[in-house]
Structure 1
Amino acid sequence: MKTLYEHIQIDEENPFKISIFNKVKFNYPFHYHPGEYEITLTLGCEGYRIIGDRLEDFGDCDLALIGPGLPHGWNTYHPIHSKKAKVIVIQFNQHFFSLLLEKPFMASIKRMLELSHRGIVFHGKTRQKAMDLILEMKDRQEIKEYLAILHLLYFLSLSEEYIIQCAASYTYRGNSEEKSTFDKVYKYILEHYTLPIKIKEVASLAHLSESAFSHYFKKRTLKSFSDFITELRIAHACRLMQTTEKNISEIAFESGFNNLSNFNRLFKKIKGCRPGQWKKKLTQATNK
């Protein structure tokens, strides 16, 4: 999977941008922008997102804060409420609040923006209140939008209802040799994880022995190579159950598992139930 560079038309004269996409389908490829923060609110649809090294499903209301240079991508595939399905993206330059961030009263926002380089997903009452604040920004005058973004960031920075997406060791530096190596490895994995994939062939991309690569990979992702592949395959299987009528055996093999019992065991380990039970719950939820 190619990591695309996105150039955002933001400068000192126009330091932020608010975009609204009234779409049931919102498919944005894996990309990064080196100089901008991004807040993405997804409403009325389901799909999956990739932030750094983490691939995860999301539901009706999803709110994420992405720091500069962190690769990310969204793919929606299941409208829950097609009439209210929309995506609101707020992007602002990393120097937007640079002078203010040195003030003591901005300490919580400064800390949150530092954490956003690993990606932050908010949940609970925080997400609901933030959604209301974002929806109220529409059609405001520029100075009021500026203050509204500051208010939103301050509110989010006080919350404890969030999940950091990437390990502290995960970094994505646009021009460094280290980034180039891991990007090559990550791209290869995302293009081949549904196929038989051996650690030896991936290690060769990084010019490392298998044992050295295992250490390198776990240091970067806090997961073993096999666990990382398994999580990608299980996430892929869930998407197939949500978007196709294929049976469990077909889904298992198309997701990269060559043994159905192994698929059932690993699925239960990660999702807490067997594939058939998960699909039944999904059917019941979507038919309500």
Structure 2
Amino acid sequence: MKPVFAKIMEGAEVATYATKVIRRPAFSTEFHFHNACQMTYIVQSEGKRIIGDSVGSFASDELTFVGPGLPHVWHNAISNQPDVPSHSTKESRSLALYIEPKQMTSVLGHFFPTHKFESFLTLSKRGLLFKGRAKEQLKQRLEQIVKLEYGFEKTRLLLEIIELMIKTDEFDYLSSAGYTHNYNPGDTNKIDYIFKFVFDNYTRGIQLDQVAEISNMSKHSFCRYFKSRTQKTFVQFVNEVRISESCRLIAENNQQITNIAYACGFNSLSNFNKIFKSIKGVTPSKYKMLLRQ
């Protein structure tokens, strides 16, 4: 998927930070990156997301923070195919806070040393998924800050958000340690199209020959191109999408493991168990048991 460099803060009333309330029938933007840091709270929606090299599912009440230059996308396009599950039966809503790291560091530097803030920015380049009490505190302030016009109160809330993020350890990393992307502005839209094709069709059998053909590339060229951009094979990516969906289903309902395996596009239970363990480190049954402890 081609990540587009986005000038998020361009035209903003205050260049150091900006807030946004997003309401759409579905989230389906291009895979992109920008210099600004981005906090995103999913008010209502569910689907698939990519942050760096992390491929997973997202749902309502998720709070993430994406550091500068880290490619990302949330996707849940409405499906017109009756046998493909739609994640967009309701309006998708999210809240976003954008912070320009260089400008913010400069501003804060007038008042106190910024080494803790800069260390946090380095950590955030892996993408952070907040949890626990910290998530609730950050969510509360984000819900308040998006309602305010620019001024003292809005800036006070911003500083509280920054302080909370710096001090907490209640988060999980999303992208791999040392991850750096290999995308460039000259990439075509082929990978962008392929990612969304997989997101919308992972419940079916996806053949490499088919994907290479619709990308207008030979199978060998496509495999080389895809891995050079994503740092993983196409098969690995498809399996990660399917396993992320199976984790969501295991957590949210009481379906049998066998039914979940087939619902996520696997053609045999043994293959599902093998791939699930290779990605998650435990079997699906063990994963289900750990969730209920």
Fold shared per TM-score above 0.5? yes
What's the CA shift for 1:41? 0.9
Are residues 78 and 258 of structure 1, via their aligned partners in 2, closer, same or farther at CA, if it must alter by over 3 Å? closer
The Cα RMSD (Å) is 4.5
What's the CA shift for 1:184? 7.4
Aligned residue number for residue 170 of structure 1? 179
Are residues 133 and 189 of structure 1, via their aligned partners in 2, closer, same or farther at CA, if it must alter by over 3 Å? closer
Structure 1 residue corresponding to 2:267, chosen from 241, 249, 258: 258
Q: Check conservation: 1:108, 1:154, Cα contact below 8 A.
A: no
The CA distance in 1 between the partners of 2:22 and 2:224, in whole Å, is 43
Residues 85-125 of structure 1, C-alpha deviations (whole Å, 9 max, x = no match)? 73111113333313146576322221111222221111111
The yes-or-no answer on 1:7 pairing with 2:7 is yes
Aligned residue number for residue 118 of structure 1? 126
The CA distance in 2 between the partners of 1:86 and 1:226, in whole Å, is 32
What's the CA shift for 1:158? 0.7
Aligned residue number for residue 134 of structure 1? 142
The residue identity in structure 1 corresponding to 2:19 is: I
The yes-or-no answer on 1:94 pairing with 2:101 is yes
The CA distance in 2 between the partners of 1:260 and 1:157, in whole Å, is 44
After the TM superposition, which of the residue ranges 102-111 and 121-130 deviates more from structure 2?
102-111
The residue identity in structure 2 corresponding to 1:14 is: V
The CA distance in 2 between the partners of 1:45 and 1:28, in whole Å, is 12
Relative CO higher for 1 or 2, CA cutoff 8 Å, sep ≥ 6? Answer: 2
Aligned residue number for residue 145 of structure 1? 154
The residue identity in structure 2 corresponding to 1:262 is: N
The CA distance in 2 between the partners of 1:175 and 1:3, in whole Å, is 8
Q: For 1:175-186, list aligned pairs within 5 A.
A: 175=184
Are residues 13 and 19 of structure 1, via their aligned partners in 2, closer, same or farther at CA, if it must alter by over 3 Å? closer
Residues 113-151 of structure 1, C-alpha deviations (whole Å, 9 max, x = no match)? 122222111111100010111122122443332332122
Structure 1 residue corresponding to 2:164, chosen from 155, 159, 168: 155
What SS does the corresponding residue of 2:240 show, helix, strand or coil? helix
Residues 53-93 of structure 1, C-alpha deviations (whole Å, 9 max, x = no match)? 1122234311111123222112356589x79x731111133
Aligned residue number for residue 19 of structure 2? 18
The CA distance in 2 between the partners of 1:195 and 1:251, in whole Å, is 18
Q: Check conservation: 1:6, 1:31, Cα contact below 8 A.
A: no
Q: Check conservation: 2:12, 2:18, Cα contact below 8 A.
A: no
The CA distance in 2 between the partners of 1:242 and 1:51, in whole Å, is 21
After the TM superposition, which of the residue ranges 122-131 and 14-23 deviates more from structure 2?
14-23
The yes-or-no answer on 1:62 pairing with 2:71 is no
Are residues 37 and 241 of structure 1, via their aligned partners in 2, closer, same or farther at CA, if it must alter by over 3 Å? same
What SS does the corresponding residue of 2:46 show, helix, strand or coil? strand
- Percent sequence identity is 24
What SS does the corresponding residue of 2:163 show, helix, strand or coil? helix
Aligned residue number for residue 49 of structure 2? 49
Structure 2 residue corresponding to 1:230, chosen from 214, 222, 239: 239
The residue identity in structure 2 corresponding to 1:273 is: P
The CA distance in 1 between the partners of 2:87 and 2:222, in whole Å, is 36
The CA distance in 2 between the partners of 1:20 and 1:13, in whole Å, is 15
The CA distance in 1 between the partners of 2:176 and 2:166, in whole Å, is 20
Q: What TM-score does the superposition give when structure 1 sets the normalisation length?
A: 0.67
Are residues 6 and 239 of structure 1, via their aligned partners in 2, closer, same or farther at CA, if it must alter by over 3 Å? farther
The CA distance in 2 between the partners of 1:11 and 1:111, in whole Å, is 28
The CA distance in 2 between the partners of 1:46 and 1:258, in whole Å, is 25
Aligned residue number for residue 284 of structure 1? none
The CA distance in 1 between the partners of 2:265 and 2:87, in whole Å, is 23
The residue identity in structure 2 corresponding to 1:61 is: D
Are residues 224 and 42 of structure 1, via their aligned partners in 2, closer, same or farther at CA, if it must alter by over 3 Å? same
Q: Check conservation: 1:26, 1:87, Cα contact below 8 A.
A: no
The CA distance in 2 between the partners of 1:203 and 1:162, in whole Å, is 39
Aligned residue number for residue 195 of structure 1? 206
The residue identity in structure 2 corresponding to 1:91 is: Y
